[in-house]
Amino acid sequence: MKMGALDVPKVVHGRQGWRLLTCMWLHAGVVHLLINMLCLLFIGVPLGQEFGFLRVGLVYLVSGVGGGLLSALFLRSSVSVGASGALFGLVGSMLSELITNWSLYANKAAALASLVAVIAVNLALGLLPRVDNFAHIGGLVSGFLLGLVLLIQPQFGWLEQPFGAKSKSKYKAYQIILLLLALVLLAAG
Q: Active-site residues: which are they?
A: 84, 136
What is the full DSSP assignment across 118-171? HHHHHHHHTTSTT--HHHHHHHHHHHHHHHHHH-PPPPGGGGGSPTTSPPPPSS
Q: Enter the DSSP assignment of 18.
A: T
d(CA 82, CA 119): 17
Longest Cα–Cα distance in the chain: 65
Q: Facing residues of 80 across strands?
A: 6
d(CA 108, CA 85): 26
Q: Say how many C-beta atoms besides its own lie within 10 A of residue 75's C-beta.
A: 16
Residue type present at position 51 = F
Asked whether 33 and 49 are in contact (CB, 8 A), the reply is: no
d(CA 174, CA 178): 6
